[in-house]
């Protein structure tokens, strides 16, 4: 493209190959008029997107993915642009939003078809029914996400100051054996499945040798619940390359013992987040099956003994749950501090097809049939006085993080 992002004033690179997304402020939708914040479109600017599409040959069909339910305006915008450039092209929408809000997506996305499956075979069958057959059958099955296209769009260049994403997300499993009340993992992936270890290692080596990627963020729902997790960690240790691994999705702390902690350290894990979605003294103790207090304490001790530091660790504390109070969240923050885990607040988003959904609908002042109101930024299930206290909770979490990391300098 003639104007890659590196020539625009974009986000500054941060630690471990990450950066914020490029964003442009846009008009607020009517649903958000009362929110005193700016509203932005993130990711590739529209002119760059159009330019890239115009440089392509007209496709037989366009598959559009989707993620958060409250990001559907982006899906609509992309489909509108596709139809503007190729008026009669067939557009199929899939992904998380399409599956969680199927009726909404069917009604408002602009796609010709909305799929609730993620099996490539089903997609291929649907295309064949439409009379669309790939020229090369291998075209249908890309082994990895197309990060190469992403790097290309961003003008990925090792000689510039702003190299943008030098980190990639990777998944080694799908699904989760637990069924926490706030989580849609069971609905989206009813069965737990794991990729072969060799396959995971090959993907890491592919991105490392071709693009020099050093940082890999695991986005598994339950990475440590792989039956062969120890063998996977040993395989990562044996890579003998300068690689760093991160678990921003949160790990199940009770599984971490001395051996696993040592392997996490040895393999090069630099960001270890543990789900502490509640605390012993709060009435929300029943919300999560992830952790039992004693097991968690043992896990944290093991991580410190393995040579990890507070800056490498963190605990997610869910905030904004229906029925939860700011007092309960504050207790959870201090519980994390007592454990020696820097706490990070994770704002709750109500999600269709979860056990908490009906209760969320009852307690929210917003009509949750509108996916824009699933946005966790607006804490949709907390009453106004609680929302006011959220700022204080954020400051408390930050203060505790600073104290814990300073204590180790």
Question: Mean pLDDT per 10-residue run, the chain (409 residues)?
Answer: 51 78 92 94 90 92 96 98 96 97 98 91 89 77 79 54 68 93 94 95 94 94 96 95 93 93 97 75 45 82 96 95 94 94 96 97 97 97 95 97 84
pLDDT, position 283 = 47
Calculate the alpha carbon distances from 140 to 117, 124, 168, 261, 284 in Å.
15, 7, 22, 39, 45
Tokens 């949709």 correspond to what residue? Answer: 380
The percent of the chain in helix, strand and coil, each rounded to the nearest 5, is 45, 15, 40
pLDDT, position 27 = 95
Domains 44-140 and 166-406 share a fold: no
What residue ranges do the domains of the chain occupy? 44-140, 166-406
Whether residue 92 contacts residue 126, with contact meaning beta carbons closer than 8 Å, is answered with yes
Whether residue 76 contacts residue 371, with contact meaning beta carbons closer than 8 Å, is answered with no
- DSSP letter string over 240-273? -S--EEEEEEEE-GGG--HHHHHHHHHHTEEEEE
pLDDT, position 9 = 60
Strands 90-93 and 113-114: parallel
**CA atoms of 399 and 214, how far apart (whole Å):** 31
> In a 3-state reduction of DSSP, which class is residue 224?
helix
Nearest to 17 by CA among 212, 204, 209: 212
**CA atoms of 358 and 354, how far apart (whole Å):** 8
And the tokens for 130?
């439409």
Whether residue 379 contacts residue 368, with contact meaning beta carbons closer than 8 Å, is answered with no
pLDDT, position 281 = 38
Q: List Cβ neighbours of 170 (8 Å cut-off, separation of 6 or more).
A: 200, 203, 204, 216, 217, 218, 219
pLDDT, position 289 = 40
Q: List Cβ neighbours of 381 (8 Å cut-off, separation of 6 or more).
A: 320, 321, 322, 348, 350, 360, 363, 364
Tokens 């700016």 correspond to what residue? Answer: 38
Domain spanning 166-406: CATH 1.10.1060.10: no
Nearest to 183 by CA among 118, 291, 277, 116: 277
Q: What are phi and psi of 372, to 5 degrees?
A: -60, -25
The CATH-assigned architecture of domain 44-140 is 3-Layer(aba) Sandwich (3.40)
Nearest to 4 by CA among 160, 145, 147, 146: 160
Half-sphere exposure of residue 5, counting CA atoms within 13 Å on the CB side? 27
- DSSP letter string over 63-78? EE----GGGHHHHHHH
Nearest to 170 by CA among 121, 220, 96: 220
The sign one gets for the Cα dihedral 275, 278, 281, 287 is negative
Write down the pTM of the prediction: 0.89
């Amino acid at each position: 493209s003639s104007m890659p992002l590196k020539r625009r004033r974009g986000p500054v690179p941060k630690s471990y190959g990450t950066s914020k997304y490029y964003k442009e402020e846009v008009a607020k939708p009517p649903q958000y008029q009362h929110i005193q914040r700016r509203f932005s479109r993130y990711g590739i600017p529209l002119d760059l997107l159009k330019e890239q599409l115009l440089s392509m040959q007209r496709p037989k069909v366009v598959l559009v993915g989707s993620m958060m339910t409250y990001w559907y305006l982006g899906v609509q915008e992309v489909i509108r642009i596709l139809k503007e450039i190729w008026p009669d092209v067939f557009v199929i929408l899939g992904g998380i939003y399409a599956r969680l809000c199927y009726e909404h997506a069917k009604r408002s996305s602009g796609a010709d078809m909305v799929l609730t499956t993620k099996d490539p075979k089903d997609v291929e069958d649907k295309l064949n029914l439409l009379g669309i057959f790939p020229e090369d059958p291998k075209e249908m099955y890309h082994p990895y996400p197309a990060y190469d296209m992403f790097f290309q769009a961003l003008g990925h260049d090792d000689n510039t100051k702003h190299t943008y994403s030098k980190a990639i997300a990777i998944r080694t499993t799908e699904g989760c054996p637990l069924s926490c009340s706030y989580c849609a993992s069971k609905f989206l992936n009813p069965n737990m499945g794991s990729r072969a270890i060799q396959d995971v290692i090959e993907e890491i080596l592919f991105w490392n040798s071709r693009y020099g990627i050093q940082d890999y963020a695991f986005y598994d729902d339950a990475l440590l619940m792989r039956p062969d997790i120890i063998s996977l960690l040993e395989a990562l240790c044996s890579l003998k390359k300068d690689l760093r691994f991160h678990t921003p999705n949160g790990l199940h702390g009770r599984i971490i013992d001395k051996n696993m902690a040592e392997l996490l350290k040895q393999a090069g894990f630099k960001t270890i987040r543990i789900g502490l979605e509640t605390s012993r003294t709060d009435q929300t103790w029943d919300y999560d099956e992830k952790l039992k207090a004693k097991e968690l304490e043992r896990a944290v001790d093991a991580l410190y003994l393995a040579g990890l530091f507070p800056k490498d660790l963190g605990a997610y504390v869910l905030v904004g749950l229906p029925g939860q109070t700011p007092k309960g969240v504050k207790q959870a923050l201090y519980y994390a501090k007592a454990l020696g885990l820097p706490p990070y607040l994770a704002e709750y988003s109500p999600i269709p097809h979860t056990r908490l959904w009906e209760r969320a609908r009852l307690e929210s002042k917003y009509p949750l049939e509108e996916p824009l109101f699933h946005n966790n930024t607006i804490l949709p299930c907390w009453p106004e006085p609680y929302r006011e206290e959220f700022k204080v909770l954020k400051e408390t979490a930050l203060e505790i993080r600073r104290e814990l990391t300073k204590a180790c300098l």
